[in-house]
Structure 1
Amino acid sequence: MALYPLFADLEGREVLVVGGGEVAARKIAALLKARAQVRLYAREILHADVAQALADDRLERLSGEFDPAWLDAAWLVVAATDDNAFNAQLAAEAGRRRRLINVVDDAALSTFQVPAVVDRSPLVVAISSGGMAPMLARRIRERLETMLDPGLGPLAAMFGRHRERIRAALPEMKLRRRWFERMLDGRLEQAQAGAGSAGLETAFLGELDHAPDWASRPAPGTVALVAAAAAPDLYTLRALRILNEADVIVLAPDVARDALEPARRDATHVTALPGDEDARVLERARAGERVVYMHAGTASAKGACARILAACGQASISCRDVPSVGLDRA
């Protein structure tokens, strides 16, 4: 590992940005979002967003000839100019002062890299290629954007707000881990979809109140009902996430195995017989596994799904219906 991964708390701390163009504008926007105190040196302001930030007093512009002493007050330095000779001098000055610097598009001169980011604040995922292949990092970020539910952000914030209460209710690490997995496996999805953040908070606290009783029982499984799509690229993002989390996939008799192409490779595949779908699903869910029932969306499949939903309700097992797109329904 050539680079040491690091998330920096820049709130109220000075960061020096050199440059006034489009690249500088992107860097400034991210730094302001992190509540850094941005100081800017630029001979010309070439981007409207930078000009607006200056007009709104959200950053300070330094004037005159560049003064290397400005580096002494900075926690980080960003060089976003196309003057290679100046960038090299700036990197040397930063090195002498032991200041970390990012020289845009020049990994050799940089002492820190700015990663591609998936923002589900307070959950943040950063991807870096060490400056070797930025486009690869961006492509991976694009894929992660589709995999990480936007609802993870509010959920992560609740975990933080109620951290001490969670520890008090579940003092053992093993039980806390099981409870976290339960919450992340779609337990609160319906509450969030139905009532927004207020409903999510109420459901979260309700689950936490019952956590000690729940923790004393064997780990519960979960069930998701997923309609098989006509082609792999027609699955909804939610369906793709669920298929990649499944321990067991129970196939309806009329679903071809080609429909499993986007699913987790090491998941167990079980083909149900007509009429025993609910029994097969419940058997695996009661064993603590994450079960997906994949059906064809036909009239008979709707009947099987209704039976599974009812059986899960009686067994107090979480069950959610996740349709795909592009499916011709009978």
Structure 2
Amino acid sequence: MQTFPIFLNLRDRRVLVVGGSEAAARKVELLLSAGAQVALIADKVGGELAELIDEARISWAGRDFDEAELDGVSLVIVASEDEALQARVSQAARGRCLPVNVVDRPALSSFIMPAVIDRAPLTIAVSSGGTSPALARRVRAEIARALPATLGRLARFAEIFREQVRRTLVVPRARRLFWDRVFDGRVGELALAGDEIGARRELIRLLDGVRRETPPPGMVHLVGAGPGDPDLLTLKAHRLLQRADVVVYDRLVSAEVLAMARRDAERLYVGKRRAHHCVPQQEINDRLVALARAGKSVVRLKGGDPFVFGRGGEEVEALTRAGIAVEVVPGITAALGCAATAGIPLTHRDHAQACLFVTGHLKDGSVDLDWEMLARPRQTVVIYMGINALGVISTQLTARGLPTSTPVALIENGTTERERRVVGTLACIEQKAARSGFKGPTLCVVGEVVGLAHTRERDFHFESRIGL
């Protein structure tokens, strides 16, 4: 996050606008809609600005900028093409710790004017941090198309009952679930349609019924977080993250995916940290049970898919034995996501008629695989958590007849901006891995299909098998 989003209350506060351009007129229009008292400094004015001056809606000083104009000002906007004036006003405002925005000059600005969607009293602001105002406007248009024009009615309606609901439902989670039912159900439909009487009647009936209801029991959702790219989350996974009371996660869950959770949800880390041991699986199981019994809606967020080397089966068993309701939401497993971004087809009619997923270490830390099966020709082998066992893997596969020239790809932090890849063969991949210094989650792909990958410049060092 490059800039901190904040909404200022400018009602009856003095705001200085410098410049008489069309851009200045647009800024003045926004400021007036927020209830600000606008003072304009410009040599010349025309069009809408002139009309606003004639109507006494803004004050105008037809003179050059003087620092004394900043006295009593809460905000400064510069919409002049005079670069010397831009710099002078910016420096003077910053010297007084006043928020200042110079149109199209992020370097001179202490805040960025966002693209705004006004559904008063609901306001949505979109900003690119000054890097691409055109993109921010495009995003604003996409959001505006998705939102009903009458959405403000729903916000005003909710405000009427906010205090009554707070007094009736003292538990925050109960209030949140109630408002979800209001906005998603009949009450919301009536309020958006303008039938406030019908909406009031329906909300009172709903609130009265909820007051007598037994609080819903807790539940655990085992949700696949995918390989790291938040765009690869399923719609259901995103919806559950937005409604969770607690999110339990480990180190395989990317920060970008975790950021999709509801802001005020409790986040509980149960993975490995520097100088700390992993939280034992039994302790994780016990925590999930305890949270659900406390009436929480829990999302157990697991990298990739919960049932592909994610111990999801163990957690389902523990929750079921404890009588806790549990749901499994599948995710894109690392093999599929990482191979796709690397351009590696896991199956191919000419090279691989099968694909095997195996784990590079067992529960006790050893590597004990069916090497005869893995060394068969015309198949792809995807090894999870195998970065520290590459020497054993290469030795065992070549000992069972797999050529030392067989291509191998290592993909670290696949599908994310931190993705790195190294490609070699069974003969040299251990040495290449050591030089790469991979420390993040790394997937190993073995097979002829690795040679079919689309070469990319960014950290994709595929080498021909000739000479390897």
Q: Same fold (TM over 0.5)?
A: yes
CA distance in 1, matches of 2:84, 2:48: 27
Q: Which residue of 2 aligns with 1:21?
A: 21
Q: Is the 8 A contact 2:53 2:59 kept in 1?
A: yes
Q: Which residue of 2 aligns with 1:99?
A: 98
Which residues in structure 2 correspond to 1:23-38 (within 5 Å)?
23-38=23-38
CA distance in 2, matches of 1:245, 1:190: 23
Deviation at 1:217, TM superposition (A): 6.1
Q: Which residue of 2 aligns with 1:112?
A: 111
Q: Is the 8 A contact 2:41 2:62 kept in 1?
A: yes
Q: Which residue of 2 aligns with 1:54?
A: 53
CA distance in 2, matches of 1:102, 1:94: 10
Counterpart code for 1:139: R
Where does structure 1 differ by over 4 angstroms across 4 or more consecutive aligned residues? 214-219, 242-247
Q: Does 1:130 align with 2:129?
A: yes
Deviation at 1:41, TM superposition (A): 0.7
> 3-state SS of the aligned residue for 2:108?
coil
Q: Deviation per CA, 1:79-129: give whole Å up to 9, x if none.
A: 001111110111111111111110001001011111011222222111111
Q: 1:117 to 1:153 in 2, by over 3 A?
A: same
Q: Is the 8 A contact 1:101 1:112 kept in 2?
A: yes
Give the share of equivalent positions with the same residue, in percent.
38
* Higher RCO (CA-CA < 8 Å; seq separation 6+): 1
Which residues in structure 2 correspond to 1:1-330 (within 5 Å)?
1-46=1-46, 48-192=47-191, 196-214=195-213, 216=215
Q: Is the 8 A contact 1:10 1:36 kept in 2?
A: yes
Deviation at 1:206, TM superposition (A): 3.7
CA distance in 2, matches of 1:119, 1:29: 13
Q: Is the 8 A contact 1:72 1:97 kept in 2?
A: no
Q: 1:195 to 1:116 in 2, by over 3 A?
A: closer
> 3-state SS of the aligned residue for 2:124?
strand
> 3-state SS of the aligned residue for 1:6?
coil
Highest CA radius of gyration, 1 or 2?
A: 2
Counterpart code for 1:64: R
- Please, what is the CA RMSD of the aligned residues? 2.9
Counterpart code for 2:37: Q
CA distance in 1, matches of 2:53, 2:86: 23
CA distance in 2, matches of 1:195, 1:213: 29
5+ long unaligned stretches in structure 1: 220-241, 248-286, 290-330
Q: 1:243 to 1:150 in 2, by over 3 A?
A: farther
Q: 1:244 to 1:189 in 2, by over 3 A?
A: farther
> 3-state SS of the aligned residue for 1:118?
strand
Counterpart code for 1:82: E
Deviation at 1:199, TM superposition (A): 3.4
Q: Is the 8 A contact 2:153 2:192 kept in 1?
A: no
Aligned length: 228
TM-score by length of 1: 0.62
Deviation at 1:147, TM superposition (A): 1.8
Q: Is the 8 A contact 2:40 2:60 kept in 1?
A: yes
CA distance in 2, matches of 1:215, 1:88: 63
Q: Deviation per CA, 1:171-222: give whole Å up to 9, x if none.
A: 1111111111111213224424665344334433443343313564679xxx
Q: 1:83 to 1:215 in 2, by over 3 A?
A: farther
> 3-state SS of the aligned residue for 2:195?
helix
Q: 1:65 to 1:197 in 2, by over 3 A?
A: same
Q: 1:19 to 1:203 in 2, by over 3 A?
A: farther
Q: Deviation per CA, 1:227-254: give whole Å up to 9, x if none.
A: xxxxxxxxxxxxxxx999989xxxxxxx
5+ long unaligned stretches in structure 2: 219-234, 241-324, 328-468
Q: Is the 8 A contact 1:169 1:211 kept in 2?
A: no
> 3-state SS of the aligned residue for 2:80?
coil
Deviation at 1:163, TM superposition (A): 1.8
CA distance in 1, matches of 2:62, 2:189: 55
Q: Is the 8 A contact 1:20 1:42 kept in 2?
A: yes
Q: 1:28 to 1:163 in 2, by over 3 A?
A: same
CA distance in 2, matches of 1:9, 1:133: 26
Q: Is the 8 A contact 1:179 1:215 kept in 2?
A: no
> 3-state SS of the aligned residue for 1:77?
strand
Q: Is the 8 A contact 2:115 2:137 kept in 1?
A: yes
> 3-state SS of the aligned residue for 2:202?
helix
